[in-house]
DNA sequence: TGTCATACCTGATATATATCATAAGATTTT
DNA sequence: AAAATCTTATGATATATATCAGGTATGACA
């Protein structure tokens, strides 16, 4: 079960010099008073699509997925969020309800900051607001670019993308343990689970990767890059 | 050819009560001094992917498309922008170069506001910045939601979406003239030109629409909605 | 310890969609 | 006004991808 943590002060937070570098000590203290830090075990739901938005969410540790559920109760994954990624996405500021469900795909620590406090600080401090605008723009831009990218590629290119994504963006290593199932990969890059498995096997046969369950080892990054570029 | 217009004062602009409602007269005058209004004929390029960003773009009149060109010089349309839509998208604040090319698909008037002036005003005026953040969030959110939506639907659903989009979001009418070619529709909703044409024909045979070249008349909106919902 | 469910894997088949081919209007260019 | 080019159109074919079916392995759970 998720549990509320003994809250550490914002001064110690990884976000301090990132999202909050334009804030003075007084402002940080205000945020500190209006935040809650929660630990989630892998698989737990952090917030649900449709729920009222009362907080801005900072992912301090771990990995999460943003997803929507469609009528045919098929889940569709929008993106994977890592610390410093502004996991609330922008819907936080433009909508009353959460547009997406967020769940932990690794043990995670999320900080809930009351959104009214954040808005108040922005209204008072234009530099902070502008900085925040720039940072959140980047998140949305990335999501849009990624979605476009995935759509224009076919299956092999998409799998190549996902492997490169985990390798360079998330773990920064050639060998890593996939934090998601084949099914979740399928939901993320718009293809069937069977084909995710099939193409991973193809890559193995082609000598691009080594597979052992969730453990992936990239043997030939150049070749992977080429597959990606070809689409 | 595009031409610079005799600039009217920002007081008269449609954006004044929209994006600029948090600004006082002094700030508006500053913007007024640092803007240029340009008329573009249908088909002309407003800005190019890769160009340095120096201005925020307001579409005062007309209709534009945002697109990227891929290696195989195929064009991909990200979205259609109408007045009040923040056509610069968010890349304006997170990047140094334009991420997309923008071209006029109808005769258009675009206002170029120096971005440094805008940033300066935001830094000075938190309320303005926050307001701006909320409004631009909505644009990015819409694009993301639309892209996801299109991907999850198959051809008939996508064509239904496009017809509903022009009918309700752009023209607010059951009969309208498509401002784009079948090929451009294909580039916007990720399908082949031939299939765009084919499925429009199907819809005609099904009694959903009437077609006469670019003129479209929706005969049965309910049925169209049903096709859309089915995916 | 065994049963149940879930994740992985692979082959065969079905289906949606792209591509190719061809042709008749439109538009633009010369 | 003729030539050239683009858009719309439709049928035939190819192909990418999903679906279905049958496995084994893996982990949860009683």
pLDDT, one tens digit per residue, over B91-102 is: 778 889 999 999
Strand D close residues, chain B 169-188, CB < 7 angstroms? 178, 181-183
* Exposure b/e, B163-199, CB count within 10 A at least 16 = b: bbebbeeebeeeebebbbebebbbbbbbbeeebbeeb
Write out the two tokens for A187.
């939901």
Residue among B125, B133, B147 whose CB faces A93 most closely: B133
Determine whether the interchain pair A127/B123 forms a contact, defined as Cβ–Cβ distance below 8 Å: yes
Judging contacts by C-beta atoms under 8 Å, the chain B residues touching residue A137 are 90-94, 136, 140
- From the alpha carbon of B231, which nucleotide's C1' atom is closest? C16
Residue A189, min C-alpha distance to chain B (Å): 10
Give yes or no for CB of B197 within 7 Å of strand D. Answer: yes
**What ipTM did this prediction achieve?**
0.91
Would you place residue B9 in the very low, low, confident or very high pLDDT band (cuts 50, 70, 90)?
Answer: confident
Say what the pLDDT of residue B59 is.
95
Give yes or no for CB of A26 within 7 Å of strand D. Answer: no
Contacts within 8 Å (CB) and 24+ apart, B117-122? B117/B30, B117/B31, B117/B34, B118/B31, B118/B56, B119/A130, B121/B23, B121/B27, B121/B30, B121/B31, B122/A126, B122/A129, B122/A130, B122/A133
Low-confidence ranges of chain A (pLDDT < 70): 72, 90
CATH entry 1.10.3720.10 includes domain B3-150: no
Residue B30, min C-alpha distance to chain A (Å): 17
Say what the pLDDT of residue B36 is.
95
Residue B172, min C-alpha distance to chain A (Å): 23
Residue B28 zone, left/alpha/beta (φ > 0; ψ -120 to 50; rest): alpha
Residue B70, min C-alpha distance to chain A (Å): 9
Question: How far does the CA of A194 sit from the C1' of D23, in Å?
Answer: 14
Per domain, the residue ranges of chain B are: 3-150, 153-230
Say what the pLDDT of residue A90 is.
67
Indicate the SS3 state at residue B208: coil
To which CATH superfamily is domain A3-137 assigned? Answer: Jelly Rolls (2.60.120.10)
Q: Which residues 6+ apart lie within 8 Å of B207 measured at CB? A: B219, B220, B223
Say what the pLDDT of residue A188 is.
96
Pairing of strands A55-69, A3-4: unpaired
Judging contacts by C-beta atoms under 8 Å, the chain A residues touching residue B126 are 122-126, 128-129
Pairing of strands A35-40, A45-47: unpaired
Whole-number Å distance between alpha carbons of A178 and A213: 9
Q: In the predicted model, is pLDDT for residue B222 greater than 90?
A: yes
Structure confidence by residue, pLDDT tens digits, B31-47: 999 999 999 999 999 99
Q: What are phi and psi of B21, to 5 degrees?
A: -70, -15
Chain A interface disruption, residue of B49, B90, B128, B157, most A CBs within 10 A: B90
Determine whether the interchain pair A76/B140 forms a contact, defined as Cβ–Cβ distance below 8 Å: no
Judging contacts by C-beta atoms under 8 Å, the chain A residues touching residue B23 are none
Residue among B90, B124, B137 whose CB faces A126 most closely: B124
Contact yes or no for B185/B138 (Cβ under 8 A)? no
Residue of least CA–C1' distance to D18:
A192
In chain B, which residues touch A (CB < 8 A)? 68, 70, 76, 78, 89-95, 99, 119, 122-130, 132-138, 140-141, 143-145, 147-148, 151-152, 190, 229
Residue B56, min C-alpha distance to chain A (Å): 14
Whole-number Å distance between alpha carbons of B142 and B122: 23
Judging contacts by C-beta atoms under 8 Å, the chain A residues touching residue B132 are 133
Q: In the predicted model, is pLDDT for residue B167 greater than 80?
A: yes
The residue with greater pLDDT, B88 or B127, is B127
Write out the two tokens for B82.
């109408």
User: Taking Cα atoms as reference points, which of A26, A92, A81, A89 lies closest to residue A55?
Assistant: A92
Give yes or no for CB of B102 within 7 Å of strand D. Answer: no
DSSP state of B167: I
The residue with greater pLDDT, B88 or B21, is B21
Say what the pLDDT of residue B43 is.
92
Write out the two tokens for B182.
């079948």
Residue among A78, A129, A144 whose CB faces B129 most closely: A129
Structure confidence by residue, pLDDT tens digits, B66-120: 999 887 678 999 999 999 888 887 677 888 999 999 999 999 999 999 999 999 9
- The architecture CATH gives domain B153-230: Orthogonal Bundle (1.10)
Determine whether the interchain pair B130/A119 forms a contact, defined as Cβ–Cβ distance below 8 Å: yes
Write out the two tokens for A212.
């052992």
Determine whether the interchain pair B90/A141 forms a contact, defined as Cβ–Cβ distance below 8 Å: yes
């Amino acid at each position: 079960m998720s549990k509320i943590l003994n809250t550490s002060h914002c001064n110690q937070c990884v976000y301090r010099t990132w999202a909050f570098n334009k804030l003075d000590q007084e402002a940080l203290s205000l945020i500190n008073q209006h935040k809650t830090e929660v630990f989630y075990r892998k698989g737990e739901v952090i917030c649900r699509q449709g729920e009222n938005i009362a907080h801005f969410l900072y992912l301090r540790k771990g990995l999460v997925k943003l997803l929507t559920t469609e009528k045919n109760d098929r889940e569709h994954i929008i993106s994977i969020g890592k610390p410093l990624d502004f996991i609330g996405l922008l819907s936080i500021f433009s909508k009353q309800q959460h547009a997406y469900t967020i769940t932990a795909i690794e043990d995670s620590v999320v900080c809930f900051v009351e959104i009214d406090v954040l808005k108040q600080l922005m209204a008072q401090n234009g530099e902070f607001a502008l900085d925040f605008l720039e940072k959140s723009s980047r998140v949305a831009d990335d999501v849009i670019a990624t979605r476009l990218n995935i759509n224009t590629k076919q299956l092999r290119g998409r799998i190549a993308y996902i492997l490169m994504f985990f390798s360079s963006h998330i773990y920064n290593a050639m060998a890593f343990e996939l934090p998601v199932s084949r099914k979740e990969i399928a939901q993320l890059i718009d293809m069937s689970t069977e084909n995710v498995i099939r193409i991973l096997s193809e890559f193995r046969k082609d000598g691009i990767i080594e597979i052992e369950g969730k453990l992936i080892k990239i043997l030939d990054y150049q070749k992977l890059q080429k597959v990606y570029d070809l689409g």
